[in-house]
């Protein structure tokens, strides 16, 4: 009987004041202010990475790709996601499916949802669902101060 594990991931970033900072969600560049962070600050990719690492018992994103390492400055988070998929696969795990929720007030995710989902499917190699939710004016996310993402993954081995 195959071994199965569930992992969850979460990431949040505030909006940046830097007009040159790109907004990246799920590997897709969107119009709007970028997010503060060491890498490209893609909360979707980061939540997926944490979910994968957690399910595989391989630590978390901060251990694997520390923000104290200058080699990860402004790095493409989708490259980190691909590296994580390879590492999880090397341990014998295969992704069954991944579900991701993005919490944001703006920009609207609906016009980009399918493209983000397709990019994730291409790198993860399994079914992925992406959806957006609003924080309904509650807290920092509800005031539009940043973007958060949550991901849940099911892995199978054996």
pLDDT at residue 150 in the model: 98
Residues 128, 146: Cα–Cα separation, whole Å? 23
Residue 115 belongs to domain with CATH number: 3.30.1330.50
Dump pLDDT digits (tens) for 14-40: 999 999 999 999 999 999 899 999 999
Dump pLDDT digits (tens) for 122-144: 999 999 999 999 999 999 999 99
Residue 1 clears pLDDT 90, i.e. is over it:
no
Q: Which helix (H) or strand (E) holds 123?
A: helix 113-124
Q: Are 134 and 105 in contact (CB under 8 A)?
A: yes
Residues 72, 21: Cα–Cα separation, whole Å? 16
- Work out how many domains the chain is built from and give that number: 1
Dump pLDDT digits (tens) for 74-121: 999 999 999 999 999 999 999 999 999 999 999 999 999 999 999 999
Residue 158 clears pLDDT 90, i.e. is over it:
no
Which residue range(s) make up the domain with 72?
3-157
Dump pLDDT digits (tens) for 33-72: 999 999 999 999 999 999 999 999 999 999 999 999 999 9
Q: What three-state secondary structure class fits 2?
A: coil
pLDDT at residue 156 in the model: 98
Count of residues for the chain? 158
């Amino acid at each position: 009987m195959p071994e199965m594990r569930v992992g969850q991931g979460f990431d949040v970033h505030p909006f940046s004041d830097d007009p040159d900072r790109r907004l990246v969600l799920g590997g897709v560049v969107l119009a709007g202010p970028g997010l503060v962070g060491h890498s490209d600050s893609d909360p979707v990719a980061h939540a997926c990475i944490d979910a994968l690492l957690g399910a595989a018992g391989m630590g978390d994103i901060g251990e694997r790709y520390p923000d104290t390492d200058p080699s990860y400055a402004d790095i493409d988070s989708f490259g980190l996601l691909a590296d994580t998929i390879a590492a999880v696969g090397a341990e014998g795990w295969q992704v069954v499916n991944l579900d991701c929720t993005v919490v944001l007030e703006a920009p609207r995710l609906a016009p980009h949802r399918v493209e983000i989902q397709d990019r994730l499917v291409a790198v993860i190699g399994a079914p992925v669902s992406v959806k957006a939710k609003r924080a309904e004016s509650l807290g920092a996310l509800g005031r539009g101060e940043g973007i958060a993402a949550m991901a849940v993954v099911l892995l199978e081995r054996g």
